[in-house]
Amino acid sequence: MLTFFPTHYKHWLTILIVAFISTLNQWLFADYVGNVEFVHAAVNNGEVWRLITHALWHTNLYHWGLNITGLALLWALHGEHYSPLNTFILLSWCAVFSSAAVWLFAPHIDYYVGLSAALHGLFCYGAVADIRQKRYSGGLLILGIMVKLYFEQHQINDNTASLIEANVAYDAHIFGAVAGIIYAIVYFGQQGLKKKNQ
C-alpha cells in the first residue's frame, strides 16, 4: 500500500520537521504565541521575525489539526516533487511572502497565525510541477484552488472561524497561492536553463 506514496526520506523529511516543530509549539510553547504571531502594529515597529514565526504556531488544537492534516495530504498528493532543501525554502518563502503581502496590502488583518497560507503555496507548487510533467490533474488543481479562494472571499457564514476561534486570514491564502506559483515558475525555469546549458 505504501508504494503509492512518496516514501523516500527526501520527500517527507522537511514535512516531518515542520509538523514536529508545529506540534511542539502547540503542546509545549503555546503561551509564547503573543511573541511570534503576525501582528500588524508589531511588524510596523520592526518585529520582522513575525513574518515567518507566525506559520509555526496555531490558535488552538483544531487549527493545528487542520494544518497538520493539510500538510500530510499535500505530501501524499505531491510528495514526489519535494526535496528537503527545496521544500524548506518554498515553505519559508510562502510564509514570508504571504505575511509581507498581508502587511502591505491587507491592513484590515490585525493579526494571524498558522501554516495555511504556506500550505496554499505548497499546493500550487505541486500543481505547477504536475503541469510541467504534462499531467492534466495539475491544471484541474489550479482551477480548483482558484474556485476555493474565490468562495472564501465571498462566503457569508464562516464555520472555520468558529472552529479555530479566530478570523481566518483568507487574503493570506491568496498571497500564499501566488507565492507558490511564483516560486514554481522561477524554480522550474532555472532547472530548464540548467538542462539547456548542459
Where along the chain do its domains lie? Answer: 2-197
> What nine digits make up the cell of 126?
505541486
Helix (H, G, I), strand (E, B) or coil at 97: helix
Predicted confidence band at 165 (pLDDT cuts at 50, 70, 90)? low
The pLDDT value recorded for residue 1 is 44
- Percent of all residues in the chain with a pLDDT value above 70, rounded to a whole number: 94
Do residues 109 and 169 touch, judged by C-beta distance below 8 A?
Answer: yes
What is the pTM for the complete model shown?
A: 0.93
- End-to-end Cα distance, the chain: 38
Does residue 74 contact residue 122 with C-beta atoms inside 8 Å?
yes
CB of 116 closer than 8 Å to CB of 70: yes
**What is the model's pLDDT at position 195?**
78
Q: What is the predicted pLDDT for the residue at 102?
A: 97
pLDDT of residue 113: 95
Mean pLDDT of 47-68: 95
* pLDDT (mean) for 147-162: 79
Rounded Cα distance between 58 and 61, Å, is 8
**Are the CB atoms for 38 and 54 separated by under 8 Å?**
yes
pLDDT at 130: 95
Segment 16-28, tens digit of pLDDT: 999 999 999 999 9
Contacts of 166 (CB under 8 A, 6+ apart): 59, 63, 112, 113
Residues 6+ apart with CB under 8 A from 63: 113, 114, 163, 164, 165, 166
Mean pLDDT in residue range 135-158: 88
Residue 157's pLDDT band (cuts 50, 70, 90): low
Can you give the pLDDT at residue 158? 67
Domain 2-197 grouped into CATH 3.20.20.370: no
**Mean predicted confidence (pLDDT) in 68-93:** 96
